[in-house]
Amino acid sequence: MATITFKGASIHTNGNLPPVGSQAPDFTLVDGALNDVTLATYPGKKKLLNIFPSLDTPVCAASTKRFNDAVKGYGDVVFLMISADLPFAMTRFCKAEATTNVIPLSLMRSRAFARDYGVLIEDGPLAGIAARAVVVLDGNDQVIFTQLVPEIAHEPDYDRALAAL
């Protein structure tokens, strides 16, 4: 269990991020066409997992836009934006904000991803959705960088996450 804050108040996640050097837990998330997506959907690709509560918040929207702009310099990487938002809402956001370089994925069918990655918020007003975190995987799905953002209302460390790629 990790302790983070939401607007200064302590809240807790169900566990910890996968350790650097470990094999990333597989997952099943939902894309904008309601297809299941797993790690195997992107074989041999490096992956940046930007995990956050909802695109309906300014910080989550900002991180999606920032990674969308960054992806242009990384041809061998997929940037996965993961939240509890419904795929329809994520698709609308990406279209409206022209964030077409990132791949929005939803926890819609299961919270297993959030549990397996240790980011499921267990208490407070955001209980049941994911904390803000970034996980970077190499082409073999080994964890090479993690950051659990200590205050949900803050943005992740973009420079360190991108440097890991």
Give the residue numbers marked as catalytic: 60
d(CA 78, CA 71): 8
Question: 56, 85 in Cβ contact below 8 A?
Answer: yes
Residue 79: CB partners within 8 Å, gap ≥ 6?
A: 47, 48, 50, 67, 68, 70, 71, 101, 102, 103
Task: Name the one residue in this structure whose structure tokens are 């795929």.
Answer: 87
How far apart (Å, rounded) are the C-alpha atoms in residues 16 and 116?
A: 9
Q: Say what angle helices 58-70 and 87-96 make with each other, to 10 degrees.
A: 60
